[in-house]
Amino acid sequence: MRKFKKIAIIYDWMDKWGGVERVLLILQEIFPQSDFFTSYFDPEKAAWAKDLSIKTSFIQKLPPFLRRSRIASLPFYPFAFESFDFSEYELVISVTSSFAKSVITKPETFHLCYLLTSTRFLWTSADIYLKKRLIKAMLFPYLEKLRVWDFIAGQRPDKIVSVSQSVADRCRKFYKRDSEVIYPPFDKDHWNRVKSEVRSSKLETNSKLKYFSSKQKYFLVVSRLEPYKKVELAVQSFNRLDDVNLVVVGEGSEKNKLKKIAKDNIFFVSNITDAQLGYLYSQAQALVMPQDEDFGYVSLEAQFFGCPVIAYHQGGAVETVIDGKTGIFFDRQNQDALTVMIKKYDMIKYELKKTTKEYGVKNAEKFEKSIFKSLFLSALKKKN
């Protein structure tokens, strides 16, 4: 493979920690001299990136209230990414669920886009984002123009690699482009270290976790608390199940709303370590995934710790969960279907926990980091 002297990695925004951010750090392992570009960087919420070489757009200089609101700052993003200068770079890698693929490069610069999904609020989840009348009135006339721009932006990468077959299907539908599928990396060595820490530590005495053990019979949601993640569906379902606890791990714009509607059997936890998360997986009845996932990294984490998955039968979960062995699916994305499946799970939980412990680690290892690195480097050799 040709050696690229200057490499840039572009991400939409750096203001959180999650599965995608783990991917960025592994890309940095592959390309240690790379420069990172993003619309804006929040060093408090994205402490994981503090040692990276990061260049931000003019959005970084906007007032905080404007910068942190995806809706208020929406008109600025196309200009922000198109304003970056990549004339010195031989390889540009955009990692994106929205705007980063729109960067403009020289003809001789190779631009590979690692596509997390087609832009949600434009193509697949517009109804969720436009629920509020004021937002709909403000944005609806603008969105049609933005769809045209987003389609054009989708033609700019020289090559697109999708995170799952589900995303590849969206890429073909909305951008009219074929894409190779390379699943995001699961860092087995990291999670083995975490598993050892869980076994050797008394994490149940931690103030955040002491109420949650296998004796408590709780289910788990691990997610960003955003509308498209459908965590409200899980909360509403467990509001019906007074005798079963739900632990929700995550932060996001919907947190206060979800806490207001949640009953006393639902607990919210945030800002925990991977060891604390591993402990929660190891003690939970099952992980609940009510959303149509692009990939579903947390399902691999859960399976690795022997935690079965109850997932909506769409998207990336179909590619990461072994039906009947490491999890079960519900077919309709509503409260009744999820509630019925949780009750059904109670009848098969002993067998499913047994098979998850048998197959979960092996299944997660199919997505191992070394496989991702090898496939990603191969994708750079095959430019088309």
Does residue 160 sit in the same domain as residue 294? no
Model pLDDT, residue 64:
84
**Nearest partner of 3 among 365, 380, 271, judged by Cα:** 380
Count how many domains the chain has. 2
Domain that holds residue 245: 188-365
Does residue 119 sit in the same domain as residue 168? yes
Does residue 92 sit in the same domain as residue 106? yes
Measured from the Cβ of residue 182, the count of other Cβ atoms closer than 10 Å reads 18
Distance, in Å, from the CA atom of 310 to the CA atom of 53, rounded to the nearest integer, reads 39
Model pLDDT, residue 69:
77
According to DSSP, the residues that pair with 93 across neighbouring strands are: 9, 112
Model pLDDT, residue 211:
56
Model pLDDT, residue 126:
67
CATH label of the domain that carries residue 12:
3.40.50
Task: Tell me the CA distances in angstroms from 108 to 44, 91, 111, one per residue in order.
Answer: 37, 9, 9
Model pLDDT, residue 124:
81
Question: Sign of the C-alpha dihedral, residues 115, 119, 123, 124?
Answer: positive
Does residue 223 sit in the same domain as residue 306? yes
Model pLDDT, residue 168:
98
Does residue 194 sit in the same domain as residue 235? yes
Does residue 214 sit in the same domain as residue 349? yes
Q: Is the pTM of this model over 0.85?
A: yes
b/e per residue, 299-310, with b = 16+ CB within 10 A? bbbbbbbbbbbb
pLDDT, averaged in runs of 10, over the chain (384 residues): 86 92 96 96 92 95 83 86 96 97 96 96 74 60 87 98 97 98 96 92 62 74 94 96 92 94 94 93 96 95 98 96 97 95 92 96 96 96 70
CATH label of the domain that carries residue 343:
3.40.50.2000
